[in-house]
Chain A
Amino acid sequence: MSNQKDIVEPSYLEYKGKYKGIFSWILSTDHKRIALLYLFSILSFFVIGATLGLLMKFELIAPGKTIMDAQTYNAFFTLHGIVMIFAVVIPGLPAVFGNFLLPIMIGAKDVAFPKLNLFSWYLYVAGVSLVIVSQFAGDGPPDTGWTFYAPYSFRTAGTMLPAVFGAFVLGFSSILTGLNFLVTMHRMRAPGMTWLKMPLFPWTLYATGWVQLLATPVIGITLLMIVAERTLHIGFFDPSLGGDPLLYQHLFWTYSHPAVYIMILPAMGAISEIITTFSHKTIFGYKFMVASVLAIAFVGYFVWGHHMFTSGMSGTALYTFSLLTFLVAVPSSIKVFNWISTMHQGSIDLQTPFYWAMAFIFVFMIGGFSGLVLGSLAANVHLHNTHYVVAHFHFIVFGGTGFAFFGAMHYWYPKITGKMYDTKWANIGLVLFFVGFITLYGPMFYLGFKGMPRRYFDYDEVFHAGNIISTMGSWILYSGLAIIIINLFASLKGGAKAPADPWGGKTLEWTIPSPPPVENFDEIPLITKGPYDYK
């Protein structure tokens, strides 16, 4: 790889192009600036979603009404779910770090379709705006939960159509981003970068791109079917119109389960990059890592029915989905074993991103194992729709994606901003975040086992102690989150200047200055070695 650390070109942060001020950002087609547009949008929505979650937990600190009534609680968990799933975790890693790093990591100057990339961000903002409008327009906020389950979703008095249409528009943003990344990786890899010389983060974006492209249209069509059912009374899902509510669940989860992999695969990619860099050792079993990414994406496409074990599917379908669910655990565990093997006999550098990666593995393992419990047909009957499920998916979705997102943020922050952050405060924030996370979601496993249902603003006295601990966990987690975000923003001004390669990374982004120049590379590099050449 050619070393381009000495290039003196304006960085993408200094170069304004033909527009000034805010327009140099919102009209820029530079993949790095678009990544930051996504970053600030996603962080804003994340803080909104987290605040909703904090208030919901406060409501649950005691039985009965504490700070909100049942209807408000229903609206809160619906908005919390829609914002967190569609506006934060699905676009999170691909749209922010994928946009910023994919072209650089494969030795390209930009994505294949820069204008389409900017358009995707506009679609994203439009989609989220529609969802937020639905909270204040019409006959009251939606109260169906983020899954919009039929037939309730077209009988509720809440303003469903803007929320549903918002999710539809967000889906288009996701499809276009996936398409852009796929074409970029097929057509714009640097000379010599064969598929098996591509780093693992781009590989996970590749698998994610296919899932985005193939699965997202299903939810688009499904949401349009809801619109047709509500406005034209065509009987797709409503039994009174001759429809089948289970068809909605099939269609919804055909997208929404693969969407979990849109969230988790890039997270796994970022963790792979962090572990190999801070172990100063070539990733263990690179080809198996690539194969397991593709296997997770492929098998993950066929396991949606495990969300519907108690919905009344046929026995044949139940056994099939249970079997497939257990199968998807195999490639996931290959990844965990390979991460551990990478660290074995490595020269580990204990830095903040590495701590985040360790925390990720810990919570992801708990999330994964609790998923196997839910994948078992008999156990699922007991646990379905209890707090156990809430704990499981927060360990996977928030634990997986959230820890990887902040790990990636601390890993690539020097590259993105050109500044180093305060390590002490970063570590304090991480410890609080981790302790808060376990305290918040850990008791939910117990509460679920004991039978506390999800989506209720009230509960029996027997669940009180677990809920007090859980609510206190939410305060600790929120404090950690505040410290992390304040520290990163404060370091933008006060942080020391970051060198090109502060961690000793080997992938292409560490060969260019921090922050990167506008066109990334003065000369497209010629790739002659694998991505993790630590020999």
Chain B
Amino acid sequence: MENEKNHIIPYRNFLLVLTGLICLTLISVSVTQISLGTLTVAIALLIAVIKSSLVLRVFMHLKFENKIFSFAVIAVFLIISLVIFITLLDYLYR
């Protein structure tokens, strides 16, 4: 089966992703120093989404797997997003 193949990823790609993750971490810390109101949470969540996508796709090999796994991850992501959205209905309208 296609999803049982071994995928050799060059070290260079891993290093690039690692650098990207460190940069995004630094950005998410720096952004807290700027007063952006409710956008602060949105930006923090956006950066977290980009970081977790990188980890899932590259380190966890999701980009090489069967599409059903990507679908499952996206479905879970949507459920969690809905939970956060409903929670924000309290915080944004309180």
Query: In the assembled complex, how far is the CB of residue A238 from the closest CB belonging to chain B, in whole angstroms?
Result: 17
- Does B50 belong to the interface (CB within 8 Å)? no
Contact A317 B76 (CB under 8 A): no
Contacting residue for A302 out of B82, B91, B93, CB 8 A: B82
Compute how far the CA of A241 lies from the CA of B80 in the bound complex, rounded to whole angstroms: 27
Contact B83 A254 (CB under 8 A): yes
- Does A55 belong to the interface (CB within 8 Å)? no
Closest to B86 in A: A302
- Does A246 belong to the interface (CB within 8 Å)? yes
Contacting residue for A301 out of B79, B93, B94, CB 8 A: B79
Other A-B contacts than A314-B91, A316-B90, 10 sampled, CB-CB below 8 A, are A214-B79, A254-B83, A254-B87, A305-B90, A312-B94, A314-B89, A314-B90, A315-B93, A317-B89, A317-B94
Compute how far the CA of A250 lies from the CA of B82 in the bound complex, rounded to whole angstroms: 14
Query: In the assembled complex, how far is the CB of residue B93 from the closest CB belonging to chain A, in whole angstroms?
Result: 4
Interface string of B59-83 (1 = CB under 8 A from A): 0000000000000000010011011
> Nearest 5 pairs between A and B by C-beta?
A314-B93, A317-B90, A316-B93, A314-B94, A317-B89
Interface string of A307-348 (1 = CB under 8 A from B): 000001111110011000000000000000000000000000
Which residues of A have CB within 8 Å of B89? 314, 316-317, 320
Chain A: interface residue total (CB-CB under 8 A)? 15
Contact B83 A246 (CB under 8 A): no
Interface string of A8-45 (1 = CB under 8 A from B): 00000000000000000000000000000000000000
Which residues of A have CB within 8 Å of B93? 314-317
Which residues of B have CB within 8 Å of A246? 90
B residues adjacent to A (C-beta < 8 A)? 76, 79-80, 82-83, 86-87, 89-94
Compute how far the CA of A246 lies from the CA of B88 in the bound complex, rounded to whole angstroms: 12
Which residues of A have CB within 8 Å of B90? 246, 250, 305, 313-314, 316-317
Which residues of B have CB within 8 Å of A214? 76, 79-80
Compute how far the CA of A254 lies from the CA of B79 in the bound complex, rounded to whole angstroms: 12
A-B contact pairs, 22 of them (CB 8 A): A214-B76, A214-B79, A214-B80, A246-B90, A250-B90, A254-B87, A301-B79, A302-B82, A305-B86, A305-B90, A312-B94, A313-B94, A314-B89, A314-B91, A314-B93, A314-B94, A316-B89, A316-B90, A317-B89, A317-B93, A317-B94, A321-B86
Compute how far the CA of A302 lies from the CA of B78 in the bound complex, rounded to whole angstroms: 12
Which residues of A have CB within 8 Å of B79? 214, 301
Compute how far the CA of A250 lies from the CA of B87 in the bound complex, rounded to whole angstroms: 7
Query: In the assembled complex, how far is the CB of residue A186 from the closest CB belonging to chain B, in whole angstroms?
Result: 10
Query: In the assembled complex, how far is the CB of residue A185 from the closest CB belonging to chain B, in whole angstroms?
Result: 14
Which residues of A have CB within 8 Å of B80? 214
Compute how far the CA of A312 lies from the CA of B87 in the bound complex, rounded to whole angstroms: 13
Which residues of B have CB within 8 Å of A302? 82-83, 86
Closest to A316 in B: B93
Which residues of A have CB within 8 Å of B91? 314
Which residues of B have CB within 8 Å of A314? 89-94
Compute how far the CA of A246 lies from the CA of B91 in the bound complex, rounded to whole angstroms: 10
Interface residues of A in 282-323 (CB under 8 A from B): 301-302, 305, 312-317, 320-321
Which residues of A have CB within 8 Å of B86? 302, 305, 317, 320-321
Interface residues of A in 199-252 (CB under 8 A from B): 214, 246, 250
Which residues of B have CB within 8 Å of A312? 94
